[in-house]
Amino acid sequence: MNTVVTLMLKDIYVVKRKSEPTLFIILFFAVFAGLQGGFLYTAMCTMMMVMLTLTSFAYDQSDGWEVYVSALPVSREAVVQSKYLFGMLTIFISIVLVAVTSLAFRGFQIEAMLNALQIQVYLGLFFLSLNYPLILKFGFEKSRVWYILITFLIVGAGSAFSSIASKTGLQINALASGFAGFLVIGMLFLSYFFSLRIIKHKEFIEI
């Protein structure tokens, strides 16, 4: 576990050093999520946070980290686990950011905060689960088009559904919410095992 945490801290340091503009964009979305609520800003805050973990893959590949770490006495399971742990940490941070800005600008609204929490957890895990195996399999650059497409599809579909729900008064019941939660958790486990299988059979060759 210490190895996993150490690898995750390495990713946090690299992302903090190289992704400062993205952090300001995340703060922008968090502020507007607190001011206005709704699906778009809340979802983008979380997905931009998860994107930081995607860029950590890119830095690993461009800096030759993958080759280096494969020569260390570090299991590939630990490498994968650190990435997923980092991803879930970013989701948690986005939840805290939106909760703090919501409290600051709109006060304590339990229903709105729970709705935001659901959006952030479900979309964050869904986005993470789809993209990690793709990046491990094909590399960050080849997967770029896919994760951008996935982002637009998620945000577009979610915004459309949110707009229809607000106009028609449609409510998501507990059963549907529970099913969605079960689905994204199942996807997370499948994604992890696919990623583990990919990295175990991957050869890292220094160019």
Whether 167 shows a pLDDT value over 70: the answer reads no
At 5-14, the pLDDT tens digits run 888 998 888 8
Domain ranges of the chain: 2-200
At 135-161, the pLDDT tens digits run 888 887 777 777 777 777 777 666 666
Among 22, 42, 23, 24, CA closest to 32? 42
Q: Which of 20-24, 125-129, 152-156 has the lowest mean pLDDT?
A: 152-156
pLDDT for 162: 64
- Over residues 40-44, the mean pLDDT reads 86
| Mean pLDDT over the full length of the chain | 82
Whether 168 shows a pLDDT value over 90: the answer reads no
**pTM, two decimal places:** 0.85
